[in-house]
Structure 1
């Protein structure tokens, strides 16, 4: 998740504390870390020719070596795929990544055009296992789990995700951008720490109203189209950031008037100001605020062996997306965009993959169409051509079990080759 413009507000509030980090545990947002390590390396790692995995491995090892030098113990949490309700955001991000991949493939990329090579996450998990770094992969996004673990262990969260400015992290939030892990001195790493209490004191809002601000201002689940209502109610002299920043400050001034009142009252009043009174819309915004509630996420209704292997990082997040949402977002590749997607070549393999996971239920795939347009299409899973008895052995509950004798499949490899699927 992410909250639009939150980093600028934090900077404006002067709520960042200069901090020397040492002798502590830390909860690390894994995806944010490997993105940062890959994209911010010096010299810059390759993105145009499939990725520079040896250099990435060395960068990750150096990072965790420097943490240990400062007696910092890490727990890395990893996403297990996007959550329901974010389809529009996921589609927009996929389109943006496809456009970046196209520019990189044509050697016309700008400064901010970055595409992560497809195996970076897999290599990152492998390195964590080699270094014996504690790790937990989640079902869905890892933000909530990161906060819960940080509060359990009384330590900060390290990430670049602006949602951590909203969550109530008791020991604070450390931004990766300001985490100078390569410049530790005297056994400590220079950093900047954010606490919600200082931000709320500056803008005079209740801490429990920060999720309301995120939902109204704009996160991955909601944004109130107020057509300038907040800015007109709270006009201000010319301030940095333009109309968008003015709107965000106006929303905070509006919420400052609801100190001591419930979040639902604040949401209803904000929507009423924008001329929105429909109950289903109000409920949508209330649900968006609940994304920041510090409650354990629901346990997925899946076989115990899958839950165990996902948490250990031994099953990819592609598996969780297929099992929980019947969908797969195919990672954008730097390739020749004048030709069909490279994923077309492996369609038949994915159909068997879906068949093992969800049986005959259709699975939706998100890939590119033609140049850089996003295409969502339903894919029909394929079941192996085996006897009913052997097919039962391949059901999800039994898929991890060793059988006494090999399953008698037809020669699917020959069939695939004959029909030109590979």
Structure 2
């Protein structure tokens, strides 16, 4: 959820509220969504402006869990599920901010603006699934259940969410978690490895505010405002609150936090509620109290149905009734205040008056407080796969809300959002999940430059099975269904059989992407090279992304490969035969493409946003084809993004190849010291060209259009040039113009 300003308040006083802690030999509950973002932001060293470097992110994820393993820490990862309908206002607001950030992001602003790539959570979840790590996906928001599971297991939470300062559980904020392993140096005692960190407990926090009750902390969160209750609802209360001073140049929000804590020292939760409600007219009290109750309930819940998904015996703590809000008492408070004259004291300052509905609520509140049930009406087998992290969160949004929320990406905002390229796939997924032929799916995403709007995705017009019929289909039927949805001819199956299974979704995406865009060969060459490097070359050479470090390590490398042994028509064999020497030669030739070009960091105008838009479109195709494959129980093998895409590499190589007139000849020069890689690359391209005929027509169309535009522009320039009357001038589009003779 998130409580604005509370993390800053705690961190500024960390010496009072946080304790040094050695984390080892214990369970650890991990807020999956939060930690995925933090690992990417602080440990992946990715160039966000190109669309995401997933290989670096994969390495960061691996390092994180390796550190936990070395310290004998058993992780339990909790992921969020679908969006709650009462959180729609917050979703839209955050989406607007992300779109704005994506529009501002470029190589110059890279260090000050951050945009998470579309596969961020999918990559983290894939790693957790593949390694058999304890995990569960909540149906909706997971903060409450994450806290409850940590309490039940008697262990800390690792996250970076201010709500955990309110929950009665041990909490390690991620910035206070060292990603390194330490070892004790005690004499005559068995040593152990540990992670140094700082830990927060509610009890230590309360000691700094004598008289503040643990039960009152949820009231602090509600009054400050979170994703469900906006602080503006309590404007009248704040007008009567004594604002405390803070040391230093603190913001108004920091002053509010301190003021509320001082105020709550002398209040019980019941008396605090009474004073808050007394500031409002009778017609509004019932509505406001109802929302406060709902928000507080989330902080005071103690049970979690998701514990059943872990093979553990919970260490249940004392469920003292003091920690729960007695709703009947709150209702009595409401009854007492109904007849009080104090409600008439309420007034509105200039510019703050709201339009009040007949039921006493405001239009703003209705947007913020739209009700949401914790129970969902979906098939039991859907729920089981969803909670086991097989299905993505968007499946819940589609099934329950009939909505799809786009993840903002780096795009050219003068063009349509990149998700539109996948509408055919989303339409089919929606039809299978809902078995609906007449209700279109609503897509919530970018409209125009920086606005958020909704689009109706056209209904799927091809026959698809219902959700319950999926398990009755054969693997071949499911494969053919995917081809039908993608509008790819069944003959492409022959192409797929020539490749390892890990390539199949990638190749289907390339085919679909080429059908839906006017992309040329340069970006296809780059995508294939990215796949080769991350899936094969790295395995032979090691993980190198710095040309300085690589060249120092392999300074004495010389190529001695022979091409005679490379003659094979089998792509899989050619890939398996790539040698270490070959891999070193390849990486030596392309290592600089993994790095940001210094020219881009000095001049943002050199940044090709259209190219990044194309990379985003490809990622959208890959994501949604992957989702379709998941829904149909994996007729094609799944893929792992760190083995597939480094967007910095794809951008740089494509940008270079766009300048070349003969791509194949250039690739021969580039990979001259890696004949095995070159041979595999050529085999892959030749095979694709023989099956994907549409690309050549598109590329010719692009060239003709560019040539036509260039000629028209030069003719216009030519007409505007003034010449002496005795000159005979003939237009030459190749030389711009030429004076050929005298009249």
Using the size of structure 2 for normalisation, the TM-score is: 0.51
Work out the CA distance in 1 between the residues paired with 2:274 and 2:460: 48
For residue 38 of structure 1, the aligned residue among 11, 19, 40 is: 40
The structural deviation recorded for 1:365 is 1.7
Match of 1:402 in 2: 473
Match of 2:199 in 1: 193
The structural deviation recorded for 1:23 is 0.7
Write the deviation string for residues 139-160 of structure 1: whole angstroms up to 9, x where unpaired.
1122122112212211111000
**More deviation, 58-67/142-151:** 142-151
Match of 1:303 in 2: 379
Match of 1:272 in 2: 278
Distance 1:400 1:206, change over 3 A: farther
Distance 1:272 1:54, change over 3 A: same
The structural deviation recorded for 1:108 is 4.4
Distance 1:383 1:307, change over 3 A: farther
Unaligned runs of 5+ in 1: 386-390
Match of 2:215 in 1: 208
Asked if the contact 1:25/1:155 (under 8 Å) is kept, the reply is: yes
Match of 2:318 in 1: none
Asked if the contact 2:71/2:181 (under 8 Å) is kept, the reply is: no
The structural deviation recorded for 1:257 is 2.3
For residue 449 of structure 2, the aligned residue among 350, 360, 371 is: 371
Residue pairs, 1:84-233, within 5 angstroms: 84-104=85-105, 106-109=106-109, 111-169=111-169, 172-186=170-184, 187-203=193-209, 204-225=211-232, 226-227=234-235, 229-230=237-238, 233=241
Whether 1:234 and 2:239 are equivalent positions in the alignment is no
The structural deviation recorded for 1:29 is 0.6
Distance 1:88 1:108, change over 3 A: farther
Asked if the contact 2:24/2:195 (under 8 Å) is kept, the reply is: yes
Asked if the contact 1:28/1:157 (under 8 Å) is kept, the reply is: yes
**More deviation, 88-97/138-147:** 138-147
Q: Secondary structure at the match of 1:97?
A: helix
Write the deviation string for residues 59-95 of structure 1: whole angstroms up to 9, x where unpaired.
1111111111111110111111222211111111101
Match of 1:388 in 2: none
**More deviation, 198-207/317-326:** 198-207
Distance 1:236 1:154, change over 3 A: closer
The structural deviation recorded for 1:4 is 1.2
Bigger radius of gyration: 2
Higher helix share: 2
Match of 1:80 in 2: 81
Work out the CA distance in 2 between the residues paired with 1:401 and 1:310: 20
Asked if the contact 1:75/1:133 (under 8 Å) is kept, the reply is: yes
Write the deviation string for residues 275-333 of structure 1: whole angstroms up to 9, x where unpaired.
78431122122212222232446453321211121122111111011112222111111
Work out the CA distance in 2 between the residues paired with 1:287 and 1:26: 28
Match of 2:252 in 1: 243
Work out the CA distance in 1 between the residues paired with 2:475 and 2:111: 56
For residue 416 of structure 2, the aligned residue among 340, 353, 366 is: 340
The structural deviation recorded for 1:413 is 4.7
Work out the CA distance in 1 between the residues paired with 2:461 and 2:216: 50
Asked if the contact 1:361/1:380 (under 8 Å) is kept, the reply is: no
The structural deviation recorded for 1:131 is 2.3
The structural deviation recorded for 1:167 is 1.4
Using the size of structure 1 for normalisation, the TM-score is: 0.87
Asked if the contact 1:224/1:271 (under 8 Å) is kept, the reply is: no
The structural deviation recorded for 1:55 is 1.4
Work out the CA distance in 2 between the residues paired with 1:367 and 1:317: 16
Work out the CA distance in 2 between the residues paired with 1:53 and 1:138: 25
Work out the CA distance in 2 between the residues paired with 1:273 and 1:403: 65
Distance 1:237 1:140, change over 3 A: closer
Whether 1:60 and 2:38 are equivalent positions in the alignment is no
Work out the CA distance in 2 between the residues paired with 1:305 and 1:175: 35
